[in-house]
Each structure stands twice: as C-alpha cells, then as structure tokens.
Chain A
Amino acid sequence: MKTLNDVKIGETTKIARLLGEGAVKRRIMDMGLTKGTEVTVRKVAPLGDPIEITVRGYELSIRKDEASKIEVA
C-alpha cells in the first residue's frame, strides 16, 4: 500500500487509512488528516525530514515517521 511518504512533491492524494494507534494517531486525526481527506505534499525540509503538506486549507509539517503511517489511495 502506498503511504504519504511515497507521494511526490506537488501531488495531491486522498487518505485511505491511518495505521498505528494512541497519541500519535489521534494527534494526526485531530489535525484533520482523516479518512477521505485530500492532501497535497508541498515540500521536504532542507535536511530531508520532515515534510510539509496542505490539508483542509492550511499548512502542516509532519515527520516521515508519521507520514509512513498514513496510507493513501
């Protein structure tokens, strides 16, 4: 399954499923990354991690660790 990490910069995709549990998963969902939400990957930080995405009309930064727990269509 493709995760948010595999999405190229500039591409828009839809969230299929969230892996993991507990605080990290809840935090990701609280920030609006829920099933079916459209996400655009904007850029990667200069040192290669974290990444910047656009979700629900605002900019969010998440680490690649967390992005790998977000499966996309």
Chain B
Amino acid sequence: MSNIKIALAGNPNSGKTTLFNDLTGSDQYVGNWPGVTVEKKDGLLKGDKNVVVQDLPGIYSLSPYSLEEKVSRRFLVEENPDAILNIVDGTNIERNLYLSTQLAELGLPMVMAVNMMDVVKKNGDKIDFEKIAKALRCEVVGISALKGEGGIEAAKKAVEMAKRSVVERGPGKLPDVPHVFSGTVEHAIAHIEESIQGKVPERSIRWYAIKIFERDREIIKKLEIGVGEMKHIEEHIRDCEKELDDDAESIITNQRYEFIQGLMSKALTKSEIRKNKATLSDRIDRIVTNRILALPIFILSLCVMWWLAVADGGPGTILTDWANDGFLGDGWHLPFTTHEVDGKDYETASEEFAKAEATVKAWEAGEKKASVEDEETGEISEEWDIDEAAYNAAKEVEEPDPSQFGVWVPGIGALIGAALEKMGVSETVASLVNDGAWGGVATVLGFVPVIFVVFLFLAFLEDCGYMARVAFIMDRLFRKFGLSGKSFIPMIVGKGCGVPAVMAARTIENERDHRMTVILATFIPCGAKTVIIAMFAALFFREMWYVAPLMDVIGIAIIVMGGIALKKSKAFAGEAAPFVMELPAYHMPTITGIWRHTWIRLKGYILKAGLIIFPACVLLWFIMNFDFHFNLVGEDGIDKSMLATMGGWIAWLLAPLGFGTWQGAAASVSAEIAKEQATATLGLVAANMDGASTAAHVTNLFASFVPACVPDASKGSVAKLIAMSFMVFNLFIPPCMVAIAVTFREMGSKAWGWLAVGFQLFVGYTLAMSIYQLGMLAMGCGFGVWTAIAIIVDLFCLWAVFRPGRRAEG
C-alpha cells in the first residue's frame, strides 16, 4: 500500500508543530489552504517516504465557527486521511480531550499521543493510558515532542492501524466509536443516524449525526436534508432540549465535558504536593502581566527587538552593513586581523583617497573647490578649496590596498567584477551582470540579516508563550480601531521591514483582524523608506527637524484612522469575533525549535523575494539603459531611455500631486522594486540638471516641477511642497513589490489582495494630493478643479472614519 495519509490534529500549544517537525524533518511544504490564509503544511514521514503527514491547524473543537475549524473539518471528512494522529497536552489534558472525543467520532483509526510526558512525570502526576484508550476507542501512547521522544513510534503506530483497518474492515462493519452522551441524546442521535444512512460515509455516520443534532448549518446544507425529514429530526432534538432544559449545542458540549471529567477522575492522579503550589510559569506570569510592570516590560522587550534588528550599532545593523558592503559588495576584513598602516586604519586611508580623487577630478575640470557627497542623501558632506599644490599632492595619494590592513576577504560583488574584467566582456554586459542581475540578488540578500534577527526574536516570543500575553496586554487599545492585541507586533516589525511584518501577522488567528493588520502594517515607514526620508529631510527640510518623526506619526495616524474606517466598511462588517484566548504556560524554547521556526520563514522570504526582485532588477536595468530602439543610452542619456518614455506615459496621473513629470513617475515606479531605489533613481534622472552635486541636481529637479504661474517669491516654498508631496506619496502608497506579493499571499485571494493594494494606493495618493493641492491653496496659488476634488476626497475620508459604526460590531 503506498501513500498513506496521516492527519496530525490537536489543540494550539499542544506541541503539534514540534511533533510535525520531528516527524518530517526538512521534508515539508508550507503553503495556504485553498482560498484561505490558514497555514497548510505537509511532509513525508522520516524513514517511510510512502507516508504523508498532514499538519492540520491547531483547533479546540470541530465546530463550524472559526476558519481553522472549518478547514480541519473539511479535510477530515472530505480528504479521507487513513489515520488520525491526535496530539494531546498531558499537562492540560482535560480540555485537550474535548477535541479528541470529536475526532474519535469520525470513525477513522486514531492514535492519541499524550505530549509533555516528561513534565507530567516531573510534576508527579499519573495518567492511565489504558483507561483513556478504552473510553475513546483509540490507541494511546506517551511522547515528549520537545525531547524528540516517542513521536516517530506514535506515527508508526498510526500507519500500522491504517494498514490494519483496510484489511480488517469488511463491508457493513462499522468502526467502534465512543458513546459519550446520556440516554435521551443517544436516542435522538440514533434516530438521526437512521435517517441519513446512505448519504454519508458509513464510518463517520455518528459524527454527522451529532453535527445535525447540533443544528450545524454547514453539514445540514451539505447533506441536502429535505424539509420534511429535517422536521422529523427537529422533533427529536426539541424533545431532548425540553427534557434537559438547554439548547442542543450546549447539551452536546456539556455532556462531552462531563464525560471527560468522569474519565479523568479515574485516569488522572494529580500529585498531592503540587496541587496548591504556584508553578514557575505562574510566578513568571505574575510579574510579566502585572498591572504596573506589564507595560514597561513589554516596551522593554520591544526595545530589545528594536535594538537587535535595526538600531545603530546593534547586531542587525552590523550584520546588514557587513552583508551589503562586505560579503556582497567589495569585501571585508576578518575581525581581529586588522591593524594600522602608517598610523591610519583602512577607513581613514580610504576616505583620504576619496578626497584626493575628488581634488584631482575638480582641478582637472578647472574648478577651485572640491567636494565629496554623502552616499545616501547625495548631499555635499565636505567641501574644500584646492590649488595646484593640493592637486599635485593629491595625485600622489595611492588607493589603499585593503589586504595590507588585515586579512581581506573579497566580496562577491568585487569577485564578479574582477571575473568580468578578466573575461574581457563589454561594458554593457558587465553593467548588466553587476548592476542589473547581481544588484537584484544583493538587494534581496542584503535584507536577510535584519529579517533573520526579527524572525528569530519573534520565534522566541512565540515559543516561550509571551506572544499571547502581548495580546492580553494590548488588546484593549487595539480593539478600539478594529485590530486585536496581536496586531501590535507586526507594526513594530514593520519599522524594520514590511515583508516580515506582513508575515508576522500570521500569528493572528482571527481572519478579519489578520487581514486588517496585513493592510495596515506596511504604513509604518520601513528601513528602506527611511532612506527616502533621510534624503528629503537633508535636501529640503533641513530647518524642519520634525519632518522625519512626523512621517512615523502620519503612519500611526493612518493605521488608527484606516482601522476605524475599514472596520465600518462593508468588507469588514459582521459579527465581532470572540476574543477567548488561551494563555499557555511559559516554557523555555529549544534552540532547534526556534531555529526551525525561523528558518522556514526566512526560506520563504528568500525564495519569494528572489523570484520577484531578481527579474525586476534586470528589467529595471534594461529600461534605464536602453531606448525603444534597443540602443544603449548610457547614464547621461537616461532622459531618452525606455524608463523616461514610460514615465512620460503615466506622468499625467501624478499631475494633481505636483510632480507629474517623467522623472517623478520614473522614480516612483522604480521605488516599487525596493523603496530606497527612489533616491538612486532621482539622482540618475536629475543628472542633467544644473549644479555640482547630486544634491543640487535633485533640488533643481524639484524646482523645475514648480508651475510657471507661481510668482517667483513663492517658488522656493512650492518646490518644498512638491518634495513633501513626492516623499509622502512614496512612503504611503503600496510598499515594494516583495511586500505586495506577500500581502497578496497573506490576504488569501486575489480579490482581497487587490482590495489591500487599492486601499494603500488610495491613501498614498489622497495624502499627496491633499498636501499639494491644499498647500497651493494656502499659498494663494489659486483654486482649481483638483483643489475641489482634493477637498471632496478628504471630506469623504473624514466621513468614513467618523460616521456611526454598524451595530453588529458592538
């Protein structure tokens, strides 16, 4: 028999993911269930490649209310797995068995793996497996997933049972399923079973009958039970309800728990000593969610993550710099091998060489002053007078050889450059390989360190149990604007990079909260957007220190107001989801667990980003360097390139924002590949402007955008206004392509993806338009059609935020 399918089912926090990883090793595939954003994982069983292990979402019940439950139910009754491996948390067995009673009713071969047996034993508790096995008609084994003990054996047992059941089960022989309900209820269920015979798979008939008793709409609709028949069934249900004075759903739930309580009183012996003693987890929790200490501890943990990932001098930044400039770029010195030459370290020597180079270049061009520019902002960072003596001295300065300053490891970029030079390829090919192709790969890989650090920290927070407490602490605040307590983490992550932010939203179980968080999280200006802010702050808003922090404030304001508006919109209307959340016991996560957790996500990012950014960068290089006759135009001829032409096509769309020119369009479009590209493209498209530095080019470019009708006196202010509009537009329209792609995946469907991107585009466009149009109005530059449109759209936005909400949301 080939291809046995084992469904791995269990409560959240029962150690299911750990067991799944143990069972499948690296042979797993992570995706989404069709049409929904619930994670779908399957993998091949270690040591038996004919067995597929399918990891179902963590669920508490097989009720029809949450997405996870629906997905699991459908899989179990429609995909016909050959056996169920039910993982149960031995330290929290009572509630865990509630799901087990429902799984057992499906009539599939089932093995129950009681997890965390090491903790149970350490606590001095005893669980009688035999009694549970007898009561639930399944096999029960003890395992310890974290320690990797017993998992494989449990899975093998499930495979064995699956094989045996095929041989043993003849036609008409029903599986032995537990009967947990009282006489009256069993009587009604028997009647329902009778009336649905032949309509449902024989072995699961009891499960279906109980669902119908609960008046499960999904099942009743699926089975197409006639009105007359349903009326008959309904009579039986009503009789039960009358006798037990409760509704059918409650009767079933109550009796299940009563059955489990009865079973536990016989099968579980709690250690007497421990009964009234606070566990370590209790003691940790008392501090961490303390009324006074909770918020400071939470903020502190955020600061730690912040420092780890993106702060100056933190490990994330150091790793990023190393990756970008060293490993992927020119090269790097092995740590502890560096030393000074002539009293200078390598950096000082390189700086001196750069200045000397600038002096030589300026003097030969006939200038009296030389300058060097800041790499990121294009601003002149240093300027000095030169004369012939300085020129002659500068000519003598030699480029420092890095290998003299320590053990120098050449970077991949440098190696590729050298290899191309050796092969003697043409400049165009060299540029394609180095700037286009390798540039694309390097952009993706350059972000890996930050994302790795963020994922690592998130995995730790999740695995140790703190994430649930974060939601507990923050819920009240975030519920006010339609989000949940768990939405906070993605937004914090978003300050570093939008891609992991969108991916971190996965931890939000509720579909609506999840989608809203995905749409809103990327409004926080990410690391790449900070580069844009830095450039504009330096070039245009030097005396306005508040512009940079203002962008964060705008981002937060969009999240708050966007959340409120979206919550009131049709797309997100409906009954509020219950916030009933388990607070799992704290435990020390294992290194392998965290590593796997991190690696699976990181791998996802690298693949996704690589597949998108790489071709996009090659394409961008191509349209920047060629015109429509496929003639190479070179850097000076960028105004004749395809990028310029295509920018011209869409420039009119940006006219209401003040920068409706091919340069503005080209910079904005290229920023969609990676946001920081906006600054580089601006530098290139402005190269033909007046001025000695990139900074001057860009400033003059924006001055050239100012409409002719503006009086000379206000030209300067209007240029600043356009710069502000351009910056805001690029910060708050949909994020870069990778983030958009991840957004589409996380939203679950194309329609939702477009809704997200459409909303983001609307927000960015409206903001930029309002800034430009209302700014122009305030400066007395006239009232036009677009001024009116801007005011109308703004009024619409205010209405969307402040109109009364729908009642259903409560």
Contact A45 B582 (CB under 8 A): no
Q: Indicate with 1 or 0, residue by residue over B573-608, a CB within 8 angstroms of chain A CB atoms.
A: 001011111111100000000000000000000000
Contact A37 B257 (CB under 8 A): yes
Number of interface residues, chain A, beta carbon within 8 A: 36
* Residues of chain B within 8 A of A61, CB atoms compared: 468, 471-472, 579-583
Instruction: Give A73 to B61 CA distance when docked, in angstroms.
Output: 27
A-B pairs with beta carbons under 8 Å apart, 27 shown: A18-B250, A21-B247, A26-B63, A27-B580, A29-B250, A29-B254, A32-B94, A34-B250, A35-B246, A35-B250, A45-B294, A47-B475, A56-B92, A57-B92, A58-B95, A58-B584, A58-B585, A59-B585, A60-B580, A60-B581, A61-B579, A61-B580, A61-B581, A61-B582, A62-B578, A65-B810, A66-B579
CB distance from B213 to the nearest CB of A (A): 14
Contact A35 B254 (CB under 8 A): yes
- The verdict on B277 contacting chain A, using a C-beta distance below 8 Å, is no
| Cβ contact of A45, chosen from B253, B473, B578, cutoff 8 A | B473
Instruction: Give A45 to B477 CA distance when docked, in angstroms.
Output: 11
Instruction: Give A57 to B475 CA distance when docked, in angstroms.
Output: 24
Q: Indicate with 1 or 0, residue by residue over A30-73, a CB within 8 angstroms of chain B CB atoms.
A: 11101111000001111111101000111111110110000000
* Residues of chain B within 8 A of A49, CB atoms compared: 475-476
Contact B476 A27 (CB under 8 A): no
Task: List 14 extra interface pairs beyond A26-B249, A52-B289, CB under 8 A.
Answer: A24-B580, A25-B249, A26-B65, A28-B580, A30-B98, A31-B580, A34-B253, A44-B291, A57-B95, A59-B285, A59-B585, A60-B581, A62-B581, A63-B579
Given contacts A46-B289, A63-B475, A65-B810, contact A28 B578 (CB under 8 A): yes
Contact B61 A45 (CB under 8 A): no
Q: Indicate with 1 or 0, residue by residue over A4-34, a CB within 8 angstroms of chain B CB atoms.
A: 0000000000000010011111111111101
Instruction: Give A58 to B511 CA distance when docked, in angstroms.
Output: 25
| Cβ contact of B475, chosen from A35, A37, A45, cutoff 8 A | A45
Instruction: Give A58 to B295 CA distance when docked, in angstroms.
Output: 24
* Residues of chain A within 8 A of B584, CB atoms compared: 58-59
- Tell me the interface secondary structure of chain A in the complex: mixed
- The verdict on B405 contacting chain A, using a C-beta distance below 8 Å, is no
Instruction: Give A43 to B810 CA distance when docked, in angstroms.
Output: 24
Instruction: Give A22 to B570 CA distance when docked, in angstroms.
Output: 21
Instruction: Give A45 to B246 CA distance when docked, in angstroms.
Output: 33
Contact A34 B254 (CB under 8 A): yes
Given contacts A45-B289, A45-B472, A50-B472, contact A23 B295 (CB under 8 A): no
Q: Indicate with 1 or 0, residue by residue over B45-70, a CB within 8 angstroms of chain A CB atoms.
A: 00000000000000011010110000
* Residues of chain B within 8 A of A25, CB atoms compared: 249-250
* Residues of chain B within 8 A of A26, CB atoms compared: 61, 63, 65, 249, 253
* Residues of chain A within 8 A of B472, CB atoms compared: 45, 50, 52, 61
CB distance from A40 to the nearest CB of B (A): 12
Nearest to B247 among chain A residues (CB) is A21
Instruction: Give A31 to B285 CA distance when docked, in angstroms.
Output: 21
Given contacts A43-B289, A46-B473, A50-B476, contact A60 B583 (CB under 8 A): yes
The 3 closest A-B pairs by CB, nearest first: A47-B476, A30-B61, A59-B583
| Cβ contact of B60, chosen from A18, A30, A63, cutoff 8 A | A30
Contact B583 A52 (CB under 8 A): yes
Interface of B toward A, CB cutoff 8 Å: 60-61, 63, 65-66, 92, 94-95, 98, 246-247, 249-250, 253-254, 257, 285, 289-292, 294-295, 468, 471-477, 479, 575, 577-585, 810
* Residues of chain B within 8 A of A18, CB atoms compared: 250
Contact A29 B476 (CB under 8 A): no
Instruction: Give A63 to B472 CA distance when docked, in angstroms.
Output: 9
CB distance from B28 to the nearest CB of A (A): 29
Contact A31 B249 (CB under 8 A): no
Residue among A47, A49, A62 with most chain B CB within 10 A? A47
Q: Total contacts A to B, CB within 8 angstroms?
A: 123
Instruction: Give A37 to B246 CA distance when docked, in angstroms.
Output: 16
CB distance from B264 to the nearest CB of A (A): 9
* Residues of chain A within 8 A of B60, CB atoms compared: 30-31
Instruction: Give A35 to B475 CA distance when docked, in angstroms.
Output: 27
Instruction: Give A30 to B285 CA distance when docked, in angstroms.
Output: 24
| Cβ contact of A57, chosen from B61, B94, B579, B581, cutoff 8 A | B94
Nearest to B59 among chain A residues (CB) is A30
Nearest to A30 among chain B residues (CB) is B61
Instruction: Give A63 to B257 CA distance when docked, in angstroms.
Output: 23
Contact A59 B254 (CB under 8 A): no
Instruction: Give A65 to B575 CA distance when docked, in angstroms.
Output: 13
* Residues of chain B within 8 A of A48, CB atoms compared: 476
Given contacts A29-B250, A61-B468, contact A47 B94 (CB under 8 A): no
Contact A22 B583 (CB under 8 A): no
* Residues of chain B within 8 A of A45, CB atoms compared: 289, 294, 472-473, 475-476
CB distance from B220 to the nearest CB of A (A): 16
Instruction: Give A32 to B101 CA distance when docked, in angstroms.
Output: 13
| Cβ contact of A62, chosen from B94, B289, B291, B579, cutoff 8 A | B579
Residue among B66, B473, B474, B581 with most chain A CB within 10 A? B581
Contact A58 B582 (CB under 8 A): yes
Given contacts A45-B473, A49-B475, A49-B476, contact A58 B92 (CB under 8 A): yes
Instruction: Give A55 to B419 CA distance when docked, in angstroms.
Output: 67
| Cβ contact of A27, chosen from B468, B479, B578, B810, cutoff 8 A | B578
Given contacts A43-B291, A63-B475, contact A32 B95 (CB under 8 A): yes
Contact A31 B95 (CB under 8 A): yes
CB distance from A31 to the nearest CB of B (A): 6
* Residues of chain A within 8 A of B479, CB atoms compared: 63
Contact B65 A47 (CB under 8 A): no
Instruction: Give A57 to B65 CA distance when docked, in angstroms.
Output: 25
Instruction: Give A56 to B61 CA distance when docked, in angstroms.
Output: 16
| Cβ contact of B294, chosen from A35, A46, A63, cutoff 8 A | A46
* Residues of chain B within 8 A of A36, CB atoms compared: 254
* Residues of chain A within 8 A of B65, CB atoms compared: 22-23, 26-27
Nearest to B214 among chain A residues (CB) is A26
* Residues of chain A within 8 A of B254, CB atoms compared: 29, 34-36
CB distance from A64 to the nearest CB of B (A): 9
Nearest to B295 among chain A residues (CB) is A46
Residue among A21, A23, A37, A66 with most chain B CB within 10 A? A23
Instruction: Give A21 to B578 CA distance when docked, in angstroms.
Output: 12
Contact A22 B575 (CB under 8 A): yes
Contact B578 A32 (CB under 8 A): no
Contact A34 B578 (CB under 8 A): no
Instruction: Give A28 to B779 CA distance when docked, in angstroms.
Output: 59
* Residues of chain A within 8 A of B585, CB atoms compared: 58-59
* Residues of chain A within 8 A of B63, CB atoms compared: 26-27, 30
Nearest to B252 among chain A residues (CB) is A29
* Residues of chain B within 8 A of A44, CB atoms compared: 291
Instruction: Give A46 to B468 CA distance when docked, in angstroms.
Output: 14
Nearest to A35 among chain B residues (CB) is B254
Residue among B66, B246, B289, B585 with most chain A CB within 10 A? B289
